[in-house]
Amino acid sequence: MVNSQILRDTVLAAYLMDCSSLIILRLDVQGTVREASSYARSVLGENVTGMFFTDLLVDFRKTFDLAQFRSELAPRLLSFLTPGGMPQTFRVSYLPCGKDGFMVGEHNAEEFEQVQSSMLKLNQEMANISRELQQANAEYRRINEQKNQFLGMAAHDLRNPIGSIISYMALLLEDGDGLSPDVVNILKDVSSLADFMLYLVNSLLDYSIIEQGRLVIEYNWTDFGLLAAHTVAVNRLMAQRKGIRLECTPVDVGQVYCDIHKVKQVINNFLSNAIKFSPRNSVITLRLVYDPAHVRLEVADQGPGIPQGEQERLFKPFGRTSVKASEGEESTGLGLAISRRIVESHGGTIGVESELGQGSLFWFELPRRKADV
């Protein structure tokens, strides 16, 4: 009977020490670990034997009293340091056994389950939110495409009637003998407004084409210096009306592989903006800088400058700033956004350097040869 009980206890003890998921540590009177279960060694490290029990614990406030714990015999939650660095918490009981005693730590299965199900619930919620977000994004993309299509159609359909208004105005002003000076002035105002409307409609059309991903770059080898000089000449009349001097030193920068019309549109945009925002009798300078691989065009004005915090907005659609045109000239808010897309489609970069009261310098840089965009 006694033998069979010893045998049973031995079998059970061997199972608990070798196979169970229990932290079992035999401590001597000083609190040194003399023996450790297989699971304890896997969690706390193979060299746990010989260490002081208190050194195994995460005890930030140094409140753990081994002697008191041994005397109270009440289970307690203790967090152990692990070689992986992640502390693990066990519900630990002390079982006295002669001079020595056993520390037995077990996982709290109920807590484990709760944490697991909370994590699963959180994961589900996160995945659902992610789904809704992507669904909403797709919807916004669709709406945006519809908006661009509408914009394109509206701009396209408006272009012809505005063109007719401009033609009729020109005819009236040409053959308008006998019209009073007041009427002529009104007709000139209407004509100028119609010009602006056409410009606005064309910008909207350009923008919608770009936004729909239909911007086509038609590459040709182009004399870049000549292109810049020609665009300056076109803008000179508008500058002269405000007494502004447009300076451009002719430079032979050689050939650049680009879309001549679209790059001209960008230079035009830089120059017309500079004229709009510059005070009367100031100077605008166009400069070309180049190296064997790139060409850079800069337009510097003596305008009011752009506040630092507003500069990023400039190249976004309708990204207006607090700076006003010097004589109330109108603008669409699309020119620089279109310019950015054109330059980037060439594999180039675009930017501005400006300080309040110090004028602005708009620049763009293109690779001489076609870049992989």
Partner 1 sequence: MGESQPDLEMFYQRYLYGLLDGDRAGCQRIVQELLDRDISLKDLYYHILQRALYDVGDLWEQNKISVAREHMATAMTEHLLTMVYPRIFSIPRCGRRAVVSCIANEFHQLGAKMVADILELHGWDAFFLGSNTPVSDLVSMVREKRPDLVCLSLSIQFNLPALLTTLDHLGKAFPDLPVIVGGQAFRWGGSERIADYPAARYASSIYVLEEMVMAW
Minimum distance from CB of 116 to partner 1 (Å)? 7
| 47 contacts partner 1 (rule: CB under 8 A) | no
User: Of the two residues 125 and 355, which places its CB atom closer to partner 1 in the complex?
Assistant: 125
- Contact between 135 and partner 1 by CB under 8 A: the answer reads yes
Minimum CB separation of residue 65 from partner 1 in Å reads: 36
Binding test (CB under 8 A) with partner 1, winner from 8, 76, 131, 370: 131
Among 134, 149, 160, 249, binds partner 1 (CB under 8 A): 134
| Residue from the set 8, 34, 76, 142 that interacts with partner 1 by CB under 8 A | 142
**34 touches partner 1 (CB under 8 A):** no
Q: How far is the CB of 46 from partner 1 (least distance, A)?
A: 24
Q: Is 328 exposed, middle or buried (0-12, 13-18, 19+ CB in 10 A)?
A: exposed
Q: Which is nearer to partner 1, 113 or 157 (CB)?
A: 113
348 and 282 in contact (C-beta within 8 Å)?
no
Question: What are the E-state strand segments in 224-359?
Answer: 245-248, 255-258, 283-290, 294-300, 349-354
Give the residues across from 170 on adjacent strands: none
**By CB under 8 A, is residue 128 in contact with partner 1?**
yes
Q: Among 305, 313, 307, 256, which residue's Cα sits nearest to residue 279?
A: 305
In terms of CB distance, is 114 or 116 closer to partner 1?
A: 116
- Report the chain's terminal Cα–Cα distance, integer Å: 88
| Window 153-172: residues binding partner 1 (CB under 8 A) | none
Instruction: Give the integer Cα–Cα distance in Å for 137 and 158.
Output: 31
Q: What is the 8-class DSSP label of residue 369?
A: S
Q: Which is nearer to partner 1, 141 or 370 (CB)?
A: 141
| String marking each residue 99-118 x if it binds partner 1 according to CB under 8 A | -----------------x--
Residue from the set 6, 120, 233, 289 that interacts with partner 1 by CB under 8 A: 120
**Residue 21, interface with partner 1 (CB under 8 A)?**
no
Q: Is 124 in the site for partner 1 (CB under 8 A)?
A: yes
184 interacts with partner 1 by CB under 8 A = no
Q: Does 147 bind partner 1 (CB under 8 A)?
A: no
Interhelix angle 181-211/335-345, nearest 10 degrees: 40
Give the one residue of 141, 245, 261, 280 binding partner 1; rule: CB under 8 A.
Answer: 141
From the CB of 150, what's the least distance to partner 1, in Å? 17
Single residue of 118, 137, 144, 160 touching partner 1 by CB under 8 A = 137
Answer yes or no whether residue 149 interacts with partner 1 by CB under 8 A: no
* Least distance in angstroms from the C-beta of 366 to partner 1: 32
- Interacting residues of 128 by C-beta distance below 8 A, sequence separation 6+: none
Footprint (CB under 8 A) of partner 1, residues 300-359? none
Number of residues that bind partner 1 (CB under 8 A): 19
What are the residues whose beta carbons fall under 8 Å from the beta carbon of 134, sequence distance 6 or more? none
Can you read off the two tokens belonging to residue 137? 């994004």
Rounded CA gap, 300 and 321, in Å? 18
Rounded CA-CA distance 349/256 in Å is 15
Spell 298-312 as b/e; 16+ CB within 10 A means b.
Answer: bbbbbbbbbeeeebe
Q: Does 138 bind partner 1 (CB under 8 A)?
A: yes
Among 146, 148, 144, which residue's Cα sits nearest to residue 156?
148
CA atoms within 13 A on the CB side of 94: 22
Contacts to partner 1 by CB under 8 A: 116, 119-121, 123-125, 127-128, 130-132, 134-135, 137-139, 141-142
